[in-house]
């Protein structure tokens, strides 16, 4: 939560970074206590290399979404140390990343007009921050602040390709009215943005390819109407982790967004975009008890550590609150975290399977592979990197929080 004054920051004062505590990674020592978030930097690198290599074929730039990891250390892996274009889900992410040299930022959540003063402050500080809108009311607010401050705010128009959230239909003439409202007020209609959120429900490779093509074609349709009406709208931004890994053609697209892919999770594995072996983040928990009559192992990792996300419950294979893995090894194919209270997790054999409960005495540490990496990571303040040989922590990567 951030309290802001009504007064925009004076020009040249630098980005208004509201960070509390360090956001920089730091060395760690000692044996961490559970529950904690464990990250595998090699798998993060591998996941990033895979998507970059895929997009390199068509030469389409990647604008990664930092909302999943919310970590400067992960962003450094995304860009080989050099700040590049990013997507953010909160102005707090924009402010912290701006304070660390990121100057090309897309704020990809529909704009609440009350937040425009922070947008203007970042632009005055030299950040090319773009906002997202899908209504004339928002365009009027963006135009008004551009007129009032003399700072031209660029906006993308959100287009909806699959009915899952915000945005205009690709052929909605309101897009032209929005662009006109922006430009008459000294703001900028910079392009269109689509997010094929419906792709999270795909069940086959074919459906994924179709979802990606639908996203692309809807984007091109919308931008053609705007260009025919005389607006330059150079940006055609599409993406989601499933479609970014599935698009067969990106003609007309100027950038692809994806966020979850740095870590992946069991929802993505269920869609078929990755395998369980690609999951780069997990929650380490400790066994604190057993209920043999009920076939339960009880751990100190409840929903406070994993989140309440049950995203695989609508997929063909329900993974509960997560698959259980050895601390330093592979997962148990049929051992799940099936229930959670605030600080307790219940591990059981997968219902209907022929698995047997492993012998995990009190004090044993295991890892919970997350259902939804964005939600699980959000329950924690930092990631730990461990030395695989000793189990000791070697690095701490802080996460951003708040709005």
Nearer to a copy of itself, 81 or 361 (CB): 361
CB of 381 to a copy of itself, least distance (A): 6
Structural tokens at position 59: 């030469």
CB of 49 to a copy of itself, least distance (A): 25
Nearer to a copy of itself, 248 or 362 (CB): 362
- Is the Cβ–Cβ distance between 371 and 311 less than 8 Å? yes
CB of 182 to a copy of itself, least distance (A): 15
CB of 12 to a copy of itself, least distance (A): 23
* Residue 394 DSSP code: E
Quote the CA–CA distance of 301 and 136 in Å, as a whole number: 46
Distances (CA, A) of 354 to 201, 319, 333, 348, 349: 28, 16, 11, 12, 8
CB of 80 to a copy of itself, least distance (A): 27
Torsion of CA 95, 97, 98, 104, to 10 degrees: -120
Q: Which H/E stretch holds residue 121?
A: helix 116-124
Nearer to a copy of itself, 173 or 289 (CB): 289
Nearer to a copy of itself, 77 or 304 (CB): 304
Q: Which H/E stretch holds residue 256?
A: strand 255-256
Nearer to a copy of itself, 278 or 300 (CB): 300
- Is the Cβ–Cβ distance between 371 and 319 less than 8 Å? yes
Nearer to a copy of itself, 254 or 364 (CB): 364
Nearer to a copy of itself, 116 or 219 (CB): 116
Distances (CA, A) of 398 to 26, 249, 257: 8, 37, 23
CB of 251 to a copy of itself, least distance (A): 28
Peptide bond into 35 cis (omega under 30): yes
| Lookup result for tokens 């590049």 | 84
Region of 83 please: left (phi>0), alpha (psi -120 to 50) or beta: beta
CB of 39 to a copy of itself, least distance (A): 12
- Is the Cβ–Cβ distance between 282 and 385 less than 8 Å? no
Query: 199 forms bridges with which residues in the sheet?
Result: none
Nearer to a copy of itself, 5 or 390 (CB): 5
DSSP-assigned states of every residue in 63-113 = --BTTTT--HHHHHHHTTTS---EEESSHHHHHHHHHTT--EEEEEEEPPG
Give φ, ψ of 314 to 5 degrees. -100, 5
Nearer to a copy of itself, 140 or 183 (CB): 140
CB of 184 to a copy of itself, least distance (A): 19
CB of 176 to a copy of itself, least distance (A): 18
């Amino acid at each position: 939560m951030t309290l802001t004054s009504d007064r925009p920051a004076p020009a040249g004062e630098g980005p208004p970074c509201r960070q509390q505590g360090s956001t920089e990674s730091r060395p760690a020592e000692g044996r961490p206590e559970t529950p904690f978030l464990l990250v595998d930097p090699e798998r993060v690198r591998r996941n990033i290399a895979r998507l970059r290599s895929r997009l390199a074929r068509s030469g389409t730039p990647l604008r990664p979404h930092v909302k999943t990891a919310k970590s400067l250390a992960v962003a450094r892996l995304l860009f080989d140390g050099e700040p590049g274009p990013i997507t953010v889900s909160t102005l707090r992410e924009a402010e912290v990343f701006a304070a660390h040299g990121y100057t090309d930022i897309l704020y990809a959540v529909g704009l609440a007009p009350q937040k425009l003063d922070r947008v203007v402050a970042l632009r005055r500080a030299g950040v090319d921050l773009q906002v997202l809108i899908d209504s004339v009311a928002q365009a009027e607010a963006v135009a008004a602040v551009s007129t009032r401050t003399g700072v031209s705010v660029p906006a993308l128009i959100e287009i909806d390709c699959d009915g899952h959230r915000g945005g205009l239909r690709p052929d909605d003439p309101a897009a032209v009215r929005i662009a006109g409202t922006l430009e008459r007020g000294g703001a900028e209609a910079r392009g269109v943005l689509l997010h094929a959120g419906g792709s999270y429900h795909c069940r086959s490779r074919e459906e994924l390819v179709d979802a990606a093509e639908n996203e692309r074609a809807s984007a091109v349709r919308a931008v053609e109407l705007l260009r025919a009406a005389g607006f330059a709208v150079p940006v055609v931004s599409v993406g989601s982790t499933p479609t970014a890994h599935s698009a067969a053609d990106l003609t007309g697209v100027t950038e692809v967004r994806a966020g979850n892919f740095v870590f992946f999770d069991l929802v993505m594995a269920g869609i078929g975009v990755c395998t369980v072996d690609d999951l780069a983040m997990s929650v380490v928990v400790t066994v604190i008890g057993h209920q043999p009559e009920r076939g339960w192992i009880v751990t100190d990792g409840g929903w406070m550590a994993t989140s309440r996300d049950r995203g695989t419950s609508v997929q063909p294979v329900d993974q509960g609150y997560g698959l259980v893995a050895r601390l330093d090894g592979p997962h148990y194919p049929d051992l799940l975290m099936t229930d959670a209270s605030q600080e307790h997790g219940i591990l059981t054999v997968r219902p209907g399977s022929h698995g047997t409960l492993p012998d995990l005495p009190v004090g044993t540490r295991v890892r919970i592979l997350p259902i939804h990496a964005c939600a699980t990571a959000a329950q924690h303040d930092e990631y730990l990197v461990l030395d695989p040989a000793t189990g000791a922590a070697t690095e701490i990567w802080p996460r951003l929080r708040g709005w």
